[in-house]
Amino acid sequence: MAKLQPVRGTHDLLGEEARAHIAIAETAREIAGRYGFGPVETPIFEFTDVFQRTLGDTSDIVTKEMYTFADKSGDSLTLRPEGTAGVARAFISGGMQNALPVKCFYHGPMFRHERPQKGRLRQFHQIGVELIGVPEPVGDVEVISMGADILDALGILPDTTLELNTLGDVESRTRYRDVLVEYFQDLRDTLSEDSRERLERNPLRILDSKDHVDREAVAGAPDFSDYLTDEAADFFGAIRRGLDDLGIGYRLNTRLVRGLDS
């Protein structure tokens, strides 16, 4: 008889670990509520197009990590790899455009076809918030402040370092992308296979590579901050001043691009 085991990359929450899991989620929910973020729950699976539209056809999540399948009616469905896309879909289909700002808190299981040997689970649990309809820097400061309060309530804020970067605006990213492609083209033969593919479709993600050869190339890459528009630089400066006023420490990391799939 075959042994009954959880699927590779999944993990049972039992006993004390399960209680800790619940306590973390409830702590986050309570503090998010103080900031005016109400609970939202979206389906565990969505039409695949929901994630392709929001994450981009060239993102690593879409091309490599999503659990996608056809249901009995032939529709392409995907287990949610992250929470933002589902909330954005609910915002549109739920007609919440006339109720801005929208402040949502969620937690629950997400699914990505990761390599478990790297210590990543294929079913993992995530806490998140979405703030829609506040384009000013104060919105970013509020979300970061809330995150700091959650970590503080869990007793781990002193052991946590906030790394901060800006994604700029569309014009900034276009400027930087062109310069970055030109820089990495000269080093193309030294890059890993993954980074050579990213050079064609998603060059900013090369900055996030963990390959030691790529890291050497990345060390000399142009700095994103040198290509920000005045508006984008002012916006980021306002965020930093807001964090300074609240006493929230951070470390600038211009190579921080996770989640930037463009």
CATH code of the domain containing 111: 3.30.930.10
65 and 127 inside one domain: yes
Residue 5 lies in a domain: no
pLDDT at 262: 38
* pLDDT number for residue 117: 66
Residues 6+ apart with CB under 8 A from 254: 165, 223, 224, 225
Supply the pLDDT for residue 208: 83
Residue 10, domain member (yes or no): no
**How distant, in Å, are the alpha carbons of 35, 232, 234, 256 from that of 144?**
11, 18, 18, 16
Is 165 a member of any domain?
A: no
If asked whether residues 149 and 199 sit together in one domain, one would say no
Q: What is the dihedral of CA 96, 101, 107, 110, to 10 degrees?
A: 60
Do 156 and 179 belong to one domain?
no
Give the type of residue at 42: T
pLDDT (0 to 100) of residue 132: 96
Same domain, 150 and 36: yes
Q: Write down the pLDDT at residue 63.
A: 60
Quote the pLDDT of residue 202.
83
Residue span of the structural domain in which 147 resides: 15-160
Interatomic CA distance for residues 207 and 176, integer angstroms: 12
* Domain count for the chain: 2
Domain boundary among 160, 193, 227: 160
**Domain for residue 37, yes or no?**
yes
**In the prediction, which pLDDT does 57 show?**
54
pLDDT score for 60: 58
* Model pLDDT, residue 260: 42
Whether residue 127 sits in one domain with residue 94: yes
23 and 151 inside one domain: yes
pLDDT of 4 reads 85
Structural domain contains residue 88? yes
Q: Based on the fold, state whether residues 142 and 202 are members of the same structural domain.
A: no
Answer yes or no: do 195 and 143 share one domain.
no
pLDDT along the chain (262 residues), means of 10: 80 96 97 97 95 66 80 95 94 90 96 77 94 96 98 96 92 92 90 88 85 88 92 97 97 77 41
Mark whether 53 and 155 lie in a shared domain. yes
Confidence at residue 261, expressed as pLDDT on a 0 to 100 scale: 44
